[in-house]
Amino acid sequence: MSRVVLKLGGSVVTEKDEPETVDTEALERVATAIGEWYTDERAAGTDLLVVHGGGSFGHHHAAAHGVSRETGSTDTQAVRDIHGAMQDLNEAVVGALADADVPAVPVHPFSAGYRTPEGLLFYPAEPTASMLSEGFVPVLHGDVVAHAGEGATILSGDELVVELAEGLGATRVGLCSTVPGVLDDADEVISEIVDYEDVADYLGESESTDVTGGMAAKVRALLGLRAAASVFGPDDVGPFLRGEEPGTVIRGE
């Protein structure tokens, strides 16, 4: 059995500079690539889970309410604004996938997880695993999450990818971003990363607090996974799903 976790970056599927606007064309393009693989080329027994980020839907609400991964809010308007916008974007992503014949179903992480007082995420994998077993393609999104002592904090799509890739035993992980991979200082794609030290010069110190989900935090988190993870641009969704390793492949030990 093979299990693929695919993240669609928020900036890939939304218009970055227009609040709550889907980039319909870009979304359709990646949905079509996913659909062609899913219906025609996917090996039997391979399942797929999709996670998407917030882009122009989640981020401005989070910023406006001063909510981050560490700093929460007990204001239910903040929770409803962020969650509601992400739910709208999720509906668009699920709809585009459905139009491409992918059996996509919506999953809202605020309903399913929480953080301990130390900020550790608790996210039971069984409900999502159960959807996969029934042949559905669960589509999760960056969201808010109840956080003991903080009200609700941000749960990013990247954090969900790492959590679920481990919890569900993913065999392959792909992050579709607006850039074609992890770039070195000459803006060339690094083909493989096996140790953070090898790329620390390009990405910054591993100590940096990267709350926005930038590349340094992504790479560090992906190095911790058992599965290999690829970072690639929108044109490489199809090649990744077909088993190639476009962009940058990140292999932890």
Could you list the residues that contact a second copy (CB under 8 A)? 74, 76-77, 79-80, 83-84, 87, 91, 94, 98, 103-115, 122, 124, 126-127, 130-131, 133-136, 146-152
Nearer to a second copy, 102 or 216 (CB): 102
Q: How far is the CB of 126 from a second copy (least distance, A)?
A: 6
**Does 167 appear as a known binding residue?**
no
Q: How far is the CB of 158 from a second copy (least distance, A)?
A: 19
Q: Taking Cα atoms as reference points, which of 172, 173, 135, 169 lies closest to residue 157?
A: 173
Q: How far is the CB of 183 from a second copy (least distance, A)?
A: 35
CA–CA gap between residue 118 and residue 243 (Å, rounded): 38
Q: How far is the CB of 49 from a second copy (least distance, A)?
A: 13
Phi-psi region of 127 (alpha: psi -120 to 50; beta: other; left: phi over 0): alpha
**Does 16 appear as a known binding residue?**
no
In the numeric block, the tokens 């679920």 are attached to 164
Instruction: Name beta bridge partners: 144.
Output: 154
Q: How far is CA 7 from CA 72, 197, 237, 243, in A?
A: 25, 25, 10, 16
In the numeric block, the tokens 């935090």 are attached to 217
Nearer to a second copy, 123 or 240 (CB): 123
CA–CA gap between residue 211 and residue 69 (Å, rounded): 7
* Residue 71 CA neighbour count, 13 Å, CB half: 9
Nearer to a second copy, 56 or 128 (CB): 128
**Does 55 appear as a known binding residue?**
yes
- Per-residue tokens: 90: 């999720």
Nearer to a second copy, 52 or 147 (CB): 147
**Does 65 appear as a known binding residue?**
no
Q: How far is the CB of 204 from a second copy (least distance, A)?
A: 33
Nearer to a second copy, 153 or 230 (CB): 153
- Strand order through the sheet with 104-106: 104-106, 137-141, 46-52, 2-8, 172-176, 228-232, 248-250, 192-193
Q: How far is the CB of 150 from a second copy (least distance, A)?
A: 8
Nearer to a second copy, 134 or 198 (CB): 134
User: Residue positions in the annotated binding site?
Assistant: 7-11, 54-55, 59, 157, 214, 218
User: Residue positions in the annotated binding site for ATP?
Assistant: 7-11, 55, 214, 218
User: Residue positions in the annotated binding site for substrate?
Assistant: 54, 59, 157
